[in-house]
Structure 1
Amino acid sequence: MTRALDPATITLDGIQLIEASAGTGKTYTITQLFIRLLVEKNLEIENILVATFTEAATSELRDRIRSKLREALEVFEHGGSTDPFFKSLLERVDAKKALTAIDLALESYDLAAIHTIHGFYKRILSENAFESGVPFDSEIVKNMDPLIEEVVNDFWVARVYDEDLLIVKYLREQKLSPKALKKLAKKIRERSEADILPERAELPAMPDPEDREAAYRECRRLWLEETEAVKAILLAENTDLHRNKYRLTSLEKWFTELDGFFEADTCSAFELPGNFYKFTPAGLDDGLKPKAKEAGAEPPSHPFFEACEHLDEETRTLCDALDSRVLELKQELSDAVRAELPRRMRERGLMGFDDILRDLDQALQGDRGTRLAETICGHYHAALIDEFQDTDPVQYRIFQTIQAVGKLPVFFIGDPKQAIYSFRGADIFAYLDAVADAGDNINTMKTNWRSDPELVGAINTLFGTRENPFRLEAISYQEVSAADQRKNELTIDSHNASGIDIIRFDCEKEAQQGKAKISGPNANDRIARQLCSSISSLLEKDTLLDGRKVRAGDIAVLVRTSPQARDVQEALRNVNIPSVVSGGGNIFHTPELHELYLWLQAITDPSNDGKLRAALSTSLLGLNAARIDSLENDEHAWDQWI
């Protein structure tokens, strides 16, 4: 059972879990708790640990806490405040002693223990090298990609180069390249404690590929010789086949796919055509009309259908055996990453952020763990952990172990809804462990101070009407209310804008209208064009933000991937709406940098006509083919460009 948080009265003992949705004043609450720990627990500023996940968040917390201390100094100097938090504090503490504590905290603010999580762990290891058993001179590596790539490439050479050609071909078809294995290796590295499933099993015997090849040749022979007979059976008007499953238009498409598949003398691909099963006796049996099946009807029969089933079985047998070997390869990669990467790092005196976590965790669980925890507790007497939902089991176990030894007040502050975002490193079960440890000490921040009431209401409706919206009963949606401060109020044609507009593409209706099927590539294009249309409408209508006309810079577009961001930017550029892409991508992979590269090549080698033509054709200079051609026939104009 959760209760509404009151920062002025929440107990300053034990483990306290504070659930804070976006915009509910999480950082403000941290500053208030920091003040209380100073004046009520009589802690010195260096004894209060404040930890969060990014350098930017650390910098913001440092500034906000300093600002709150200055505000507190004025309050305790003058002995009065209209702020409910300070009014409550003045009633409980000695103002003179509190003033002294705040003044001292400001004077020694450089000692404030406000760190990133990894920064805090690194400090612990370096200050307690003997207890932790970690070398003094280890170098921290922020980017592990080059080392991971080195291990993966060496693994690929040692493991794959001498592999059977059939398996190498299968790896290629499955797009399992060193680049793909590098992505897998990074995940293995990040989840060092995760079990690899399924567990290793004895590899099945490798079938003779010639068996499948023979099945293919027979199937191909029958198709080439009996095409018209097979088509006549399946296209017959008087058939027991269900035409919703064997539509005439679909059959024509499937016939074309078979024509393409059987063009080759040998079966070069491991994958059969997508609807190949429809031509097997089992597939045809599944396609019978229910009433016909009840009446004992048999599916259409032809030797080609039997041959298709034989080829399907041989293909599955071969691919199952190959899949087992691919799985074995991935498991061997996991072993290599978990053994070889740490070994190479130790040899070179390197540590990654994950190594810091692992080493501190192992030190705390080891023989000298209690002594190390006591040493840490001797320095830090309370902790405020921001963005707690981003912790993983190892990080939580570290804080849990330290807290258990020192019985420190520890505040875990975060948004449980974001604990589902594993791409940020969050682990839902680490959060649930904290819920169990907190017991009745679970507090919720109920008021959103940032968003408009319409948006807050829309989010409450969207999630509140769904049972089990996060697919885990342990995490429910806690409604919040809006402070109704009406900041950044948006109106369209003199009416308040709705909190959420959902645009749905009616794929079935569009298909009936003969429009192209919405799939991956064209879906991105459709969405980008729809976004452009919506943004253009906002900019053209009588749309006001706090009474002024909306500008392009007021609008943000959030996408999942960098390519999607570039697609949207290109669509906006086509309708002359300026935009800037921030975050996510590598600037050296952008079209603009490629064009700049061509430009610089021409500048450094102006006598090279080819490089000069390439530079002139870029959007930076904007000459078309006809203009460039005319320049080449005009020596004076050509020299001017050079």
Structure 2
Amino acid sequence: MTELSIVPAGAGAGKTHHIQETLTQWVRDGRVRPEKILAVTFTEAAAGELRQRIRGALIADSNLSAALAVERAYVSTIHGLGRRLLIEHAFASGSSPQQRLIAEDEQDLLIRRSIEENPALSELSRNLAALGYQGSFSSDETAEDSFRKKLLGVIALLRTLGPRGSDPAMADFVEASIRTGYGAPIGKFETLAAALQKTVDALLQAFPRSLADDAGSATAKTAFRENFRALKQAQQLLASSGTDWRLWQKLRALRMSMRGSPTPDGYDDLASAVMLAADALVFHPGPLEDAVSHARALVEGAQSAMTDYETRKRELGVIDFSDMVTNAARILDEKPAVLGAIMDEVDCVIVDEFQDTNPIQFTFLWALARKAKCALIVGDTKQAIMGFQGADPRLTVALTQQFETSPLDRNWRSDPRIMDFVNALGPCLFGEDYTALAAQNASGHDTALEVIELANKRGARSGGKPQHFIADRLLSLLTDDRVTIVDRHSKALRDLEPRDVAILCPTHSHCASYAAALRALGLPVRVAEGGWWQSKIVQAACFALRFAVDPADNHAAICTATLGPGATPLGDALGALARDGRIETPELMALQGLWPDSLATPVDRLVHQVIQVAGLRDWCDRLDDPAQMRADLLRFEAEAAAFMDAHRDMREASGFYGQSANVFLGWLENKVGLKGEDLRPNPAGAEADGIEIVTWHASKGREWPVVVVCGLDHKLDPRAGTFSTKFPGFDDLDHVIEQATLAYECSKRTSDGNG
């Protein structure tokens, strides 16, 4: 029988210390041999810290042999543990112990190739506008990008369910959830369309011209112009298909007579008739069937792409990060002898941050924990913010409800005044499940909590934006010599510095706007920003590399001359090219000297030569933000090395053949196009030297003396059109994933135009 200890541990409650002390005591008592510890964390840094703490405690006990034995223990991330088990039990599971782990960008490339070559998905992508996919001018995202992002999200969600995600019944579950959420439709398609057609024809017959010309305000002119355009479109479409539901939605809210912009006699009655007929959209069978068809196609297409992706990996002899856990969980489930052999080598199982497990990770870890002699599970559902990665805290909640828990009830991090606020708020959010944390620190001498609330939100957003208020407040704090903090290393009082401050934002776009406001006041900032690929130094390096392997490339020559260190005026460069057939600048002449040897030089070495002869490294010092430019250039060199290290079969499977400079640039551009790959590196390394701006998710597990939490009015309601995992119950945690289903979040049907 497993001795199970479940420890809910709030932020700052000392969970790592508790794990260390518990493990050390088990070793002291002889219940656990140090080499037979199995401990799982969710980051390499946390695993290393835990191993070091256990070893340090044993050394303090003068138990050197036990401290040395800790090196042989299973202390790693969940993915590291999964891979170790796959290697150690490869033959028992019928797999190779030499499978290569592919990088995340290689994984994305293979999945995207599987999507692009899927006939069903190709058919679905031919009419993206009708399915609601749109491009974005602000982000340069196309409708195809939006569709691909949605599909990748479905694939990621299905993969968190392991083999269950490939069950064909998943599409049936999604359809059932849509029909249940939508309710029974009312009326027939042809009847409802004819009724709307009749009212639209009547309105346009009585008022064949837009009312915009006679409107009394600019707002009214715009509204009447858009209404007239929608009515004319509806008149044409209703006579044919009539399936443009966005158009129906527009007709539910026509402008009518208002003070300052009256309508002609009879217009309001006819417009009201149109809106009444269009309101049938709320219970129309058409949108329901379209939603079902779209959702089923997404799920079935995602499953088909997953099957193709698995085939590609098998042919290449590779696995990805998800496979480490999924395949290990499959072995434990299908090979009881393997599970028994593993548990013979394990005295205890420790799991940290258990609330961040997705369903397949929960299945994997719970299979080990429930068989161990001793098990310690630490987590806090209040800190479960990794849902975007598939984490499902409901599983942890079910665990805490079925077994006795021993919550930690002290906080070692925050000011007592902050904890008073947290403890007052906690029961409002979590009810009886909230455990109050008693502050162990003394109160500071400065203000512990501040609230900045903008009274006139509309005016504030357009004129004095929230980021400007925050920037002004931080500037006043940093320039006030009376504001001090306790240094985390020396424990002595010192002046507040920019590196002591963090701003936590809900989205990356919020981060960028706060960074701009701080920089406008001259405050140093560290933020993960996009734009690496378009960085001036990176673009110069790309064009210089192209010219080095093809001196006849006039476009590369012009861009290198005008963009690079020489900054040749465009007119002069074009004139020289037209007059002499070439552009002679020191950089181009030096680059030309690399040819033709450049054609046979390995890309990583050639990149180094190009940067050197073109003087790009020295040029960084003459550009704005030299440190950032040098960091951008260093990443370019690192990418060249990564390209050379990437497995040839993997590159070719992704459509990149050979190792030439042009293939490298194509590979790199494709990689940068993937989500999150265009972020610029931090020139200061891991230790930020300015005010750090991060998203809420990225702040998890980190600490700063001064923290600004922004965007608390940011809506986090589930969005329509999103898929989610459902469980019929949690009574049988040993097999909970086998009962998982998929659901689809539909729009709420209302009669007020918000459906």
- How big is the shift at 1:301? 6.7
Q: Does the Cα contact within 8 Å between 1:216 and 1:311 map onto a contact in 2?
A: no
Q: Which amino acid aligns with 2:477?
A: L
- How big is the shift at 1:409? 0.6
1:276 is the counterpart of 2:233:
no
**1:58-73 pair list within 5 angstroms:** 58-73=47-62
1:41 is the counterpart of 2:40:
no
Match of 1:186 in 2: 156
Match of 1:478 in 2: 435
- How big is the shift at 1:52? 0.8
Task: Mark the CA change 1:201 to 1:222 in structure 2 (over 3 Å): closer, same or farther.
Answer: farther
Q: Deviations over 1:140-193 (max 9, x none)?
A: 3342322221222222xx125456966764454594533432233223323444
Task: Mark the CA change 1:600 to 1:129 in structure 2 (over 3 Å): closer, same or farther.
Answer: closer
Determine helix, strand or coil for the equivalent of 2:384: helix
Distance 2:2 2:128 in 1: 60
1:359 is the counterpart of 2:323:
no
1:566 is the counterpart of 2:526:
no
Distance 2:177 2:6 in 1: 43
Match of 2:731 in 1: none
- How big is the shift at 1:273? 8.0
**1:236-385 pair list within 5 angstroms:** 254-262=223-231, 266=236, 270-272=245-247, 276-279=251-254, 302-310=269-277, 313=280, 318-366=286-334, 368-369=335-336, 371-385=337-351
Match of 1:104 in 2: 65
Task: Mark the CA change 1:209 to 1:327 in structure 2 (over 3 Å): closer, same or farther.
Answer: farther
Task: Mark the CA change 1:106 to 1:279 in structure 2 (over 3 Å): closer, same or farther.
Answer: closer
Task: Mark the CA change 1:425 to 1:328 in structure 2 (over 3 Å): closer, same or farther.
Answer: closer
1:16 is the counterpart of 2:5:
yes
Choose which of 415, 426, 429 in structure 1 pairs with 2:380: 415
1:52 is the counterpart of 2:41:
yes
- How big is the shift at 1:55? 1.0
Q: Which amino acid aligns with 1:413?
A: V
Q: Does the Cα contact within 8 Å between 1:602 and 1:615 map onto a contact in 2?
A: no
Match of 1:504 in 2: 453
Choose which of 396, 399, 402 in structure 2 pairs with 1:434: 399
- Answer with 255-264 or 123-132: which moved more: 255-264
RMSD: 4.5
Match of 1:114 in 2: 75
Task: Mark the CA change 1:164 to 1:48 in structure 2 (over 3 Å): closer, same or farther.
Answer: closer
Match of 1:243 in 2: none
Match of 2:654 in 1: none
Task: Mark the CA change 1:611 to 1:318 in structure 2 (over 3 Å): closer, same or farther.
Answer: farther
Distance 1:124 1:165 in 2: 44
Task: Mark the CA change 1:162 to 1:120 in structure 2 (over 3 Å): closer, same or farther.
Answer: closer
Match of 1:140 in 2: 101
Choose which of 436, 452, 460 in structure 1 pairs with 2:423: 460
Structure 2 portions without partners, runs of 5+: 136-142, 180-184, 259-265, 487-492, 577-583, 589-755
Match of 1:545 in 2: 485
Match of 1:600 in 2: 541
Q: Which amino acid aligns with 1:528?
A: Q
Q: Does the Cα contact within 8 Å between 1:544 and 1:550 map onto a contact in 2?
A: yes
- Answer with 125-134 or 556-565: which moved more: 125-134
Q: Which amino acid aligns with 1:198?
A: V
Determine helix, strand or coil for the equivalent of 2:175: coil
Distance 1:262 1:129 in 2: 66
- How big is the shift at 1:629? 9.5
Q: Does the Cα contact within 8 Å between 1:452 and 1:482 map onto a contact in 2?
A: yes
Determine helix, strand or coil for the equivalent of 1:411: strand
- How big is the shift at 1:480? 0.6
Q: Does the Cα contact within 8 Å between 1:218 and 1:307 map onto a contact in 2?
A: no
Distance 2:318 2:206 in 1: 62
Task: Mark the CA change 1:569 to 1:309 in structure 2 (over 3 Å): closer, same or farther.
Answer: same
Task: Mark the CA change 1:120 to 1:628 in structure 2 (over 3 Å): closer, same or farther.
Answer: same
1:218 is the counterpart of 2:201:
yes
Match of 1:393 in 2: 359
Q: Does the Cα contact within 8 Å between 1:215 and 1:314 map onto a contact in 2?
A: no
- How big is the shift at 1:70? 1.9
Q: Which amino acid aligns with 2:520?
A: N
Choose which of 506, 518, 521 in structure 2 pairs with 1:575: 521
Choose which of 454, 469, 473 in structure 2 pairs with 1:534: 473
Task: Mark the CA change 1:332 to 1:397 in structure 2 (over 3 Å): closer, same or farther.
Answer: closer
- Answer with 356-365 or 453-462: which moved more: 356-365
- How big is the shift at 1:227? 5.8
- How big is the shift at 1:313? 4.7
1:198 is the counterpart of 2:174:
yes
Q: Which amino acid aligns with 2:438?
A: S
Q: Does the Cα contact within 8 Å between 1:360 and 1:398 map onto a contact in 2?
A: yes
Q: Does the Cα contact within 8 Å between 2:41 and 2:47 map onto a contact in 1?
A: yes
Distance 1:395 1:42 in 2: 27
Task: Give me the TM-score of the superposition, normalised by structure 2.
Answer: 0.60
Distance 1:270 1:169 in 2: 9
Distance 2:558 2:365 in 1: 64
Determine helix, strand or coil for the equivalent of 1:503: coil
Q: Does the Cα contact within 8 Å between 2:410 and 2:440 map onto a contact in 1?
A: yes
Q: Does the Cα contact within 8 Å between 1:140 and 1:352 map onto a contact in 2?
A: yes
Match of 1:292 in 2: none
Task: Mark the CA change 1:250 to 1:352 in structure 2 (over 3 Å): closer, same or farther.
Answer: same
Identity %: 20
Q: Which amino acid aligns with 1:22?
A: A
Alignment: residue pair count: 528
Q: Does the Cα contact within 8 Å between 1:385 and 1:413 map onto a contact in 2?
A: yes
Q: Deviations over 1:85-136 (max 9, x none)?
A: xxxxxxxxxxxxxxxxx22112334313211122222222322234444443
Q: Does the Cα contact within 8 Å between 2:349 and 2:369 map onto a contact in 1?
A: no
Q: Deviations over 1:575-617 (max 9, x none)?
A: 11111125xx6xxx4268522124436766699555544458x
